[in-house]
């Protein structure tokens, strides 16, 4: 295992400490239990947004804490759910009295731990709503999941619901738009290589030199099938077809196209995939009105990418365009 | 070779085409000869900034075209200098009559080709100034370079000189601040793995499982020495010491600390390096007043990072903070 780390058991603590030093204008770090809050939390009258999950997917979630997006992020160990004893104080810290929305990727550990924390917060008088993200069309049920996994769509839910909370929407309204985005977003990924969890020290899976895995999860969970390496246009079509089948968009529908790198893929390759995907969407009669290209929800150093398509409505476009100021997404601010 | 590409010879053209589709609000792409200009170029009365070089270092340089940074970027083939027949029209396209500054990383091919293009542009009546960036303290002379190589400092020169041009500084003034930044910035990098140029198909160099290369260049050129893998704190100290020796900053000096990923390194590792570097700078009596952490000048999928330190003055801080709107760097706009 070759990594720029010190003690494999200290990777998350040290990375979050470094993140806190680099972005002291944006976030406050609680070291024990480990969570990050927006510098000015709780914001008076504003619904609080909390997300979290296993580490190793950076910039998700700490990179999205700030104005117009998350109020708190709770990082677990690498690929391991955070525990309620960290989710609870993060929730309490960002509640201004307007209530809190938990945005939870659909993995069994995350679901259980956020549920426990939500019950404990409710007992302390905080109105907590939970929005599950389950946008991965690759497989039904998986290594860590009952139902569909939460992947790239999470970033879009957090941005759009974050903008709704920032403009002063009620708890009901923020919950509604988060669920609406989740219902209109689908994703699928491909791996060209595996990745190595630091405290494991060996790759979680391996692919032969001429082999790729279609429908991979963000922890290297198995996808739909392993196939021989194909060119970028063919791989893009393999990822996009099941997404469009599932979404069944009307011709002329406006979409947000998100090409996400898994961590170890050069940016030039992501733009080659974007080129292919936007051509295919055009041929399907859809209009790519917004896009996002880059490493936004990763699997350590895995090579590969995921495609995410969101069916846009006017409100989503307005909230997508609204100012955001976080470490990893920033515009208009 | 496992990459998300189609034809290895079409990688740059297709990636730039995808980039142009994704960022049509920011850039205009000329396909043949290949270069990108800022959408609203030439901007009346503004000095034009042009940079370029071999591809494979994305987001450098196309990702920095836009308001407050570059007016044009000229991508060569992967790790290969662009030719004067592309640099010349890019230069002419962004000249508003106020003159053009070429920001050139110090590699022999880039220097020669930009020089030829500058002479041709001068012959057409454009006042062109050239600023060489040579911030890499690792080695004197290298595989593609006489003198020191241009690496991470290039991003800082482009941002700060870009802000100076945007506020309306004269050609002399933009040239001066670009040269001033270059004189106050130093970098050094480390590789944990090699990288593969698409049309070559095999890694340009290989490292054993327990081996790293200190002082690596952004094309995988040899650095100072190969050593056994060490922990992140020790590697950070090895990179930072020669930088500080060379800069010899006074105690209390304010600096910008830039931790750059080479393309295949997880963000968490970059923040572990940032943590170590900011601690060392603090112990040296320096004040980390600004920072940048992420993949900003890469070597395809290479694992590793570089450290860059810039000695700040008041004007540099003001220009660093000025609004910028490009695909890869954006704030205040």
Query: What per-residue confidence (pLDDT) applies to B141?
Result: 82
CA angle A86, A6, B300 (to 5 degrees): 100
pLDDT of residue A146: 86
pLDDT in tens, A39-88: 999 999 999 999 999 999 999 999 999 999 999 999 999 999 999 999 99
Q: How distant is the Cα of A151 from the closest Cα of chain B, in angstroms?
A: 17
3-class SS of residue B178: helix
Give me the residue from A6, A229, A303 closest to B272, CB to CB. Answer: A6
Q: What percent of chain A has pLDDT over 70?
A: 100
Pairwise CB contact (< 8 Å): B22 & A266: no
CA angle A157, A191, A297 (to 5 degrees): 25
Q: How many CB atoms lie within 10 A of CB B202?
A: 9
A57 is catalytic: yes
Segment-wise mean pLDDT, segments of 10 residues, chain B, 333 residues: 96 98 98 98 98 98 98 98 98 98 97 98 98 95 87 98 98 98 98 95 92 94 92 98 97 98 98 98 98 98 98 98 98 89
Is A225 catalytic? The answer is: no
The partner residues of A242 in beta bridges, in order of sequence, read none
State the best of A268, A276, A280, A299 to mutate against chain B, taking most chain B CBs within 10 Å.
A268
B329 Cβ partners below 8 Å, 6+ apart? B63, B64, B69, B155, B159, B296
**pLDDT on residue A196:** 95
Which of A100, A91, A102 is closest to A131 using CA atoms?
A102
Spatial CA neighbour of B98 closest among B178, B167, B30: B167
Structure confidence at residue A142 as a pLDDT band (50, 70, 90): confident
Interface test with A, best of B191, B237, B271, B329 (most A CBs within 10 A): B271
Task: Check CB contact of B237 with chain A, cutoff 8 Å.
Answer: no
Residue A178 phi, psi dihedral angles, 5° rounding = -60, -45
Query: Omega before B59 cis (within 30°)?
Result: yes
DSSP class per residue in A171-240: HHHHHHHHHHHHHTEEEEEEESS--B-TTT-SBSS---TTEEEET--TT----SEEEE---HHHHHHHHH
Q: CB–CB of B264 and A58 under 8 A?
A: no
Give A-chain residues touching B22 at CB under 8 angstroms: 271, 274, 278, 291, 293
What pLDDT score does A144 carry? Answer: 82
- Interface TM-score (ipTM) > 0.95: yes
- Taking CA–CA distances from A333, the nearest residue in chain B reads B332
Q: Which of A19, A272, A332 sits opposite B6 (nearest CB)?
A: A272
How many alpha carbons lie under 13 Å from residue B270 in its C-beta half-sphere?
Answer: 30
> How near does any CA of chain A get to the CA of B96, in Å?
28
Both tokens assigned to A139: 């497989």
Q: Do B233 and A298 touch (CB under 8 A)?
A: no
Distances (CA, A) of A96 to A86, A90, A131, A208, B199: 18, 12, 19, 52, 57
Interface A–B counts its CB contacts (< 8 A) at: 181
Is A301's CB within 8 Å of B231's CB? no
Helix (H, G, I), strand (E, B) or coil at A70: strand
Tokens of A91: 């929730």
Q: Give Cβ neighbours of residue B267 (< 8 Å, ≥ 6 apart).
A: A15, A58, A59, A63, A263, A295, A298, B261, B293, B294
pLDDT at A10 over 90: yes
The CA-to-CA distance between both ends of chain A, in Å, stands at 40
CA pair distance A259, A277, nearest whole angstrom: 9
Structural domains of chain A, with CATH: 8-183 (3.40.50.10440), 185-322 (3.30.1180.20)
Under 8 Å between Cβ of A103 and A131: yes
The residue whose two tokens read 């990727």 is: A105
Instruction: For the beta carbon of residue B250, count every other beta carbon within 10 angstroms.
Output: 8
Phi, psi of A219 (to 5 degrees): -115, 15
pLDDT confidence of residue A277: 98
* Neighboring chain B residues of A232 at a CB cutoff of 8 Å: 4-6
Element (H, E) at A118: helix A108-123
């Amino acid at each position: 295992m070759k990594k720029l780390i010190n003690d494999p058991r200290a990777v998350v603590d040290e990375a979050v400490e470094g993140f806190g030093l680099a972005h002291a204008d944006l976030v406050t770090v609680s070291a024990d239990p480990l969570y990050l809050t927006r510098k000015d939390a709780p914001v008076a009258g504003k619904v609080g947004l909390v997300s979290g999950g296993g580490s190793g997917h950076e910039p998700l979630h700490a990179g999205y804490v700030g104005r117009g997006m998350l109020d708190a992020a709770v990082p677990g160990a690498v690929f391991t759910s955070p525990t309620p004893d960290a989710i609870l104080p993060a929730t309490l810290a960002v509640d201004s009295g307007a209530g809190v929305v938990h945005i939870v990727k659909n993995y069994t550990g995350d679901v259980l731990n956020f549920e426990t924390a939500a019950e404990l917060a409710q007992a302390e008088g905080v109105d907590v709503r939970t929005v599950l993200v389950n946008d991965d069309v690759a497989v039904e049920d998986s290594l860590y999941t009952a139902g569909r996994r939460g992947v790239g769509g999470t970033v879009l839910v957090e941005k759009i619901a974050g903008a709704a909370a920032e403009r002063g929407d009620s708890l009901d309204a923020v919950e509604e738009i988060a669920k609406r985005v989740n219902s209109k977003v689908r994703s699928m990924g491909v791996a060209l290589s595996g990745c190595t969890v630091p405290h494991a020290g060996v790759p979680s899976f391996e692919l032969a030199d001429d082999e790729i895995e279609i429908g991979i999860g963000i922890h290297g969970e198995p996808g739909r099938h392993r196939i021989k390496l194909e060119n970028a246009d063919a791989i893009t079509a393999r990822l996009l077809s099941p997404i469009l089948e599932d979404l069944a968009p009307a011709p002329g529908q406006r979409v947000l196209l998100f090409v996400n790198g898994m961590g170890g893929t050069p940016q030039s390759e992501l733009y080659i995939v974007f080129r292919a995907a936007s051509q295919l969407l055009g041929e399907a009669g859809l209009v790519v009105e917004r896009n996002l290209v880059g490493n936004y929800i990763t699997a350590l150093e895995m090579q590969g990418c995921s495609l995410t398509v969101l069916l846009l409505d006017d409100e989503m476009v307005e909230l997508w365009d609204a100012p955001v100021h976080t470490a990893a997404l920033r515009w208009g601010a």
